[in-house]
């Protein structure tokens, strides 16, 4: 291949260069003399490589590929290594299929449980999302396949996704909606980012210079390529100027002509075009492959990994009186059509032509009996199906009830209106528990479900969209072949109405106002101390874990958190220990606590392990909008270590000193009370040396007036008769010292 540099770019004709900044078609970059085309394909949980000889009309006609669990489930693993391995397997498959770039993962935040694409995203929390996706991207790219991380940014709703504006204040944008992208860009160096369809605070993301250039490149140092989501470009020339490099898919000759004309008319500088052309060519140079040279790869091994991934992620939500694992001697009734026709993958661009689907019915013990109980194509109960199911439930020791959202309820391209299960499923379950109380509910769904029946059943297992090994993995957990270790990556509210976006989400056709600010998910439920059905980070095990010996120490610009976990039960198991930080010092609105680290450990019965985690300064920081930077304030914090966000086992208070003063710089606007109480020895000596101490002392000693005096700024002290010269001397002295 030729040497790709600016000289090469400048040697191409204007037409050739214009052709490169748009896709040749749905999946390919354009070809120019010396540089071949490069193919890209979805998707996040298995390849959706469309047959290149078939028109792209049928979204579901793609090559045979292993369907891994969707991100809603893989995030529940809280396991960076598993995500890396998932990336590895996807990379191996993409490499064999000769793909240059894999379109995914999607890393948008689950802001509303109604958002249609939640199944494809990782979490309501940016740290968890960022960690899972970083590991995934590294895994894929190590196999020589580039990743396009999507959808940048704040694409949290599907309805009107091409035009609606996500209106978000700066701090919320940085802390909740950009933080995961920032981590992935800085740590995993993805080949490309895919800009989202929506507008952000009024500006279309494909034309958003602040997002695509100022923040992404200038602040975060991104050196890869930015491509558009499919059809996200409204004004190609404006997009190129803003920092978008590749319009996907291309519009054929029209895409070329509009760029050529813009250059000729002086509306687009050639240097801007050349910059993007160079990025496209560099991408093809690094990741491109010859699509005609497909190779075989081991799909059985990938199937086995898909099963392990699901095993590692399925969440045991409830297990009263050790209902699970099942005992082999008991007779089982399997009820629910989802056992035979499982919902195991997401729709739209996530859809995979699965290699080998094993349904829960296929994998069930031979002695179990089955009744469909309800139909997935309707929400109306069927008398005959109900009768058969009740009959079977009555004559069995235990019932495994499969419930969930049928595919028509949630997929890419629209949002949900409800998070209730279809009526026929809820009605049947209510009747089943009356004839047999030993019911385990197994859920298959892309996102949060309301469970009004939760108190009536002793066991609930959340399998989300578990991939093609759904059947094997479900029974691995039910039978205890695998001890569950997944934890929820999102809060399950009692009712949809409890969610912070209730009543505002998707109500306005054009504008989506993020009124809840940083209070998304558990940050909101914690603030209002609201009961939830299952909290963020929750997940049970067949064993138990004890936590002890928490120690927190500041060391060389980091905070070391050490503790011990012991498996105090009878079987081997894995535990996800979660570290939350509560900020007690900053003078800005703060969540009650935020997830700042986690670790998954494997322990034999009786075994203990000492865990050491290092929290960087960023773990104590908030985004200071006035200063446009992340800032950690010195002072009091609480470190909480827990088995879930609502099951905190250990806490420690400590004072951070590697940050800055929460009081900021002392100016004439500083408050007397703050200055008086500032323990900084330098402030104290300036008080004394300037003479301000003598003046303020009587005011601060006067019990009747102290509250009022403390609440006045220095610049107003003249009103109290204090000499301005003393005040100014104090400010001068403090500044000199600092």
Cα–Cα distance list, 376 to 338, 339, 373, 391, 467 (Å): 8, 11, 10, 20, 19
Q: With respect to ligand BGC, which residue has the nearer C-beta, 56 or 605?
A: 56
Instruction: Report helix, strand or coil for 696.
Output: helix
Cα–Cα distance measured from residue 460 to residue 440, given in angstroms and rounded to the nearest whole number: 6
Determine the Cα angle at 70 with ends 66 and 75, to 5°. 125
* Minimum CB distance to ligand BGC, residue 323 (Å): 39
Choose between 346 and 373: whose C-beta lies nearer to ligand BGC.
346
> Do 657 and 701 form a contact (C-beta atoms < 8 A)?
no
**Toward ligand BGC, which CB reaches closer, 348 or 573?**
348
Instruction: Give the tokens for residue 100.
Output: 């240059």
- Strand segments, DSSP code E, in 153-260 are 165-167, 192-195, 199-200, 203-204, 225-228
The burial of 528, by beta-carbon neighbours within 10 Å (0-12 exposed, 13-18 middle, 19 or more buried), is given as: exposed
Q: Nearer to ligand BGC by C-beta: 229 or 311?
A: 229
Nearer to ligand BGC, 152 or 542 (CB): 152
Q: Which is nearer to ligand BGC, 9 or 103 (CB)?
A: 103
Interatomic CA distance for residues 390 and 227, integer angstroms = 54
Q: Return the number of the residue (42 or 79) whose C-beta is nearest ligand BGC.
A: 42
Q: Please, which residue, 150 or 282, has the CB nearer to ligand BGC? A: 150
Q: What is the DSSP string of 333-368?
A: EEESGGGTS---S--GGG--EES----HHHHS-TT-
* Smallest gap from residue 47 Cβ to ligand BGC (A): 12
Q: Answer whether the bond into residue 249 is a cis peptide, omega within 30°.
A: yes
Query: Rounded to the nearest whole angstrom, what is the least distance from the CB of residue 366 to ligand BGC in the complex?
Result: 41
CA atoms in the 13 A half-sphere facing the CB of 727: 19
Q: What is the DSSP string of 247-316?
A: BSS--THHHHHHHHHHHHTTSS-HHHHHHHHHHHHHHHHHH---TT------HHHHHHHHHHHHHHH-EE
Place of tokens 């000596």: 685
CB of 510 to ligand BGC, least distance (A): 19
Question: Min. distance of Cβ 413 from ligand BGC in angstroms?
Answer: 8
Q: Is 228 in the site for ligand BGC (CB under 6 A)?
A: no
The residue (of 132 and 460) whose beta carbon lies closer to ligand BGC is: 132
What is d(CA 185, CA 12) in angstroms, rounded to the nearest whole number? Answer: 31
**Exactly one of 125, 158, 175, 229 binds ligand BGC (CB under 6 A); which one?**
229
Residues 532-591 that bind ligand BGC (CB under 6 A): none
What is the spatial distance between Cα 404 and Cα 382, in angstroms, rounded to a whole number? Answer: 17
Residues 6+ apart with CB under 8 A from 302: 66, 68, 89, 92, 93, 355
Least spacing, CB of residue 180 vs ligand BGC, in Å: 16
State the nearest-atom distance from the C-beta of 278 to ligand BGC, in Å: 24
150 binds ligand BGC (CB under 6 A): yes
Q: Is 444 in the site for ligand BGC (CB under 6 A)?
A: no
> Could you give the strand order of the β-sheet that contains 332-335, starting from the edge strand earlier in sequence?
315-319, 459-462, 439-444, 398-404, 332-335, 369-371
Nearer to ligand BGC, 150 or 416 (CB): 150
For the CB of residue 20, give the shortest distance to ligand BGC in the complex, in Å. 19
Q: Give dist(CA 395, CA 402) in Å, integer.
A: 18
Catalytic choice (79, 80, 229, 312)? 229
Q: Among 467, 343, 443, which Cα is nearest to 69's?
A: 467
- Find out whether the peptide bond into 105 is cis, omega within 30 degrees of 0: yes
Helix (H, G, I), strand (E, B) or coil at 546: strand
State in angstroms the smallest separation of the CB of 229 from ligand BGC.
5
Number of residues counted as binding ligand BGC (CB under 6 A): 6
CB of 411 to ligand BGC, least distance (A): 11
Query: What is the rounded CA–CA span in Å between residue 2 and residue 7?
Result: 11
Nearest to 206 by CA among 197, 215, 219, 218: 197
Identify whether the C-beta of residue 439 lies closer than 8 Å to the C-beta of residue 432. yes
Q: Is the CB of 118 or the CB of 644 nearer to ligand BGC?
A: 118
Q: Is the dihedral of CA 337, 122, 28, 259 positive or negative?
A: positive
Determine the Cα–Cα distance for residues 465 and 357; give it in Å rounded to an integer.
12
Q: Which of 31, 217, 220, 230 binds ligand BGC (CB under 6 A)?
A: 230
* Phi then psi dihedrals of residue 586, to 5 deg: -70, 150
In whole angstroms, give the CA distance from residue 231 to residue 245: 14
Please state the three-class secondary structure of 361-381 as a single string.
HHHCCCCCEEECCCCCCCCCC
398 near ligand BGC, rule: CB under 6 A: no
Residue 99 beta carbon to ligand BGC: minimum distance, rounded to whole angstroms: 13
Name the helix (H) or strand (E) containing 138. helix 126-141
Q: Is the CB of residue 490 less than 8 Å from the CB of residue 521?
A: yes
Q: Give the bridge partners for 48, in sequence order.
A: 42
What are the Cα distances from residue 641, in Å, to 538, 581, 603, 657?
13, 9, 18, 21
Query: Is 79 assigned a catalytic role?
Result: no
Smallest distance, ligand BGC to C-beta of residue 28, A: 13
DSSP 390-458: HHHHHTSSEEEEEEE--GGGS-TTS--S--SPPHHHHHHHHHHHHH---EEEEEE-SS----TTGGG-S
Question: With binding defined as CB under 6 A, does residue 349 bind ligand BGC?
Answer: yes
Nearest CB to ligand BGC, comparing residues 103 and 204? 103
Smaller CB distance to ligand BGC: residue 231 or 531? 231
Here's the x/- map for ligand BGC, 103-142, by CB under 6 A: it reads as: x---------------------------------------
Query: 635, 716, 626: which is closest to 673 by C-alpha?
Result: 716
Considering the complex, what minimum distance in angstroms separates the CB of residue 163 from ligand BGC?
14
Judged by CB under 6 A, the chain residues 15 through 54 that form the site for ligand BGC are 42
Residues with catalytic annotation? 229
Residues that bind ligand BGC (CB under 6 A): 42, 103, 150, 229-230, 349
């Amino acid at each position: 291949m030729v040497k790709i540099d600016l000289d090469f770019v400048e040697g191409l004709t204007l037409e050739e260069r214009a052709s490169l900044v748009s896709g040749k078609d749905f999946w390919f970059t354009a070809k120019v003399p010396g540089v071949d085309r490069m193919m890209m394909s979805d998707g996040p949980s298995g390849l959706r490589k469309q047959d290149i000889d078939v028109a792209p009309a049928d979204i579901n006609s793609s090559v045979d590929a292993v369907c891994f669990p969707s991100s809603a489930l893989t995030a529940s693993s809280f396991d960076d290594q598993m995500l890396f391995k998932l990336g590895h397997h996807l990379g191996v498959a993409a490499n064999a299929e000769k793909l240059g770039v894999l379109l995914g993962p999607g890393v948008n935040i689950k802001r509303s449980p109604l958002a249609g694409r939640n199944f494809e995203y990782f979490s309501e929390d940016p740290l968890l999302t960022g960690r899972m996706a970083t590991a995934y991207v590294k895994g894929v790219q190590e196999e020589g396949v580039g990743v396009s991380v999507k959808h940048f940014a704040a694409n949290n709703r599907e309805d009107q996704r091409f035009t609606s504006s996500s209106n978000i204040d700066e701090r919320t944008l940085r802390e909740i909606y950009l933080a995961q992208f920032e981590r992935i860009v800085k740590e995993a160096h993805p080949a490309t980012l895919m800009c989202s369809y929506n507008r952000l605070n009024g500006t279309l993301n494909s034309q958003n210079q602040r997002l695509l250039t100022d923040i992404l490149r200038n602040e975060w140092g991104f050196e890869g390529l930015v491509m558009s989501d499919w059809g996200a470009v409204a004004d190609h020339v404006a997009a190129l100027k803003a920092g978008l490099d590749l319009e996907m898919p291309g519009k054929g000759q029209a895409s070329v002509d509009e760029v050529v004309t813009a250059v000729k008319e002086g509306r687009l500088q050639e240097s801007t075009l050349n910059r993007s052309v160079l990025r496209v060519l560099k991408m093809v140079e690094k990741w491109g492959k010859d699509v005609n040279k497909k190779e075989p790869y081991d799909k059985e091994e990938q199937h086995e990994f898909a099963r392990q991934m699901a095993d590692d992620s399925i969440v045991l939500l409830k297990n009263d009186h050790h209902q699970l694992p099942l005992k082999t001697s008991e007779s089982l009734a399997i009820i629910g059509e989802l056992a035979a026709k499982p919902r195991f993958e997401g729709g739209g661009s996530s859809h995979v032509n699965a290699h080998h689907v094993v349904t829960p019915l296929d994998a069930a013990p031979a002695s179990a009996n089955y009744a469909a109980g309800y139909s997935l194509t309707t929400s109306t109960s069927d008398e005959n199906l109900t009768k058969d199911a009740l009959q079977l439930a009555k004559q069995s020791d235990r019932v495994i009830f499969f419930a969930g959202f049928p595919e028509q309820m949630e997929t890419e391209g629209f949002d949900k209106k409800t998070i209730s299960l279809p009526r026929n499923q809820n009605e049947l379950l209510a009747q089943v528990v009356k004839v047999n109380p030993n019911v385990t509910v197994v859920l298959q769904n892309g996102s949060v479900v309301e469970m009004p029946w939760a108190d009536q059943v002793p066991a609930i297992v959340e399998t989300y969209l578990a991939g093609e090994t759904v059947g094997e993995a479900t029974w691995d957990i039910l039978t205890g072949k695998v001890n569950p270790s997944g934890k929820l990556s999102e809060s399950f509210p009692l009712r949809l109405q409890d969610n912070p976006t209730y009543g505002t989400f998707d109500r306005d056709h054009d504008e989506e106002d993020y009124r809840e600010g940083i209070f998304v998910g558990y940050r909101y439920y914690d603030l209002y101390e609201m009961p939830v059905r299952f909290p963020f980070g929750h997940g049970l095990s067949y064993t138990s874990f004890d936590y002890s010996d928490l120690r927190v120490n500041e060391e060389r610009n980091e905070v070391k958190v050490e503790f011990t976990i012991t498996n105090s039960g009878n079987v081997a198991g894995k535990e996800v220990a979660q570290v939350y930080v509560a900020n007690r010092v900053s003078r800005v609105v703060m969540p009650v606590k935020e997830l700042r680290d986690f670790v998954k450990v494997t322990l034999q019965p009786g075994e203990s392990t000492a865990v050491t985690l290092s929290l960087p300064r960023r773990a104590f920081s908030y985004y200071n909008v006035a200063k446009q930077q992340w800032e950690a304030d010195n002072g009091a914090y609480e470190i909480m270590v827990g088995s879930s966000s609502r099951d905190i086992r250990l806490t420690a208070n400590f004072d951070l000193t590697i940050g800055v003063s929460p009081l900021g710089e002392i100016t004439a606007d500083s408050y007397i009370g703050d200055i008086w109480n500032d323990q900084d020895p330098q402030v104290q000596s300036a008080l004394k040396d300037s003479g301000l101490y003598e003046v303020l002392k009587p005011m601060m000693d006067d019990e009747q007036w102290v509250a009022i005096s403390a609440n006045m700024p220095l610049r107003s002290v003249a009103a109290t008769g204090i000499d301005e010269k003393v005040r100014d001397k104090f400010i001068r002295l403090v500044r000199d010292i600092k």
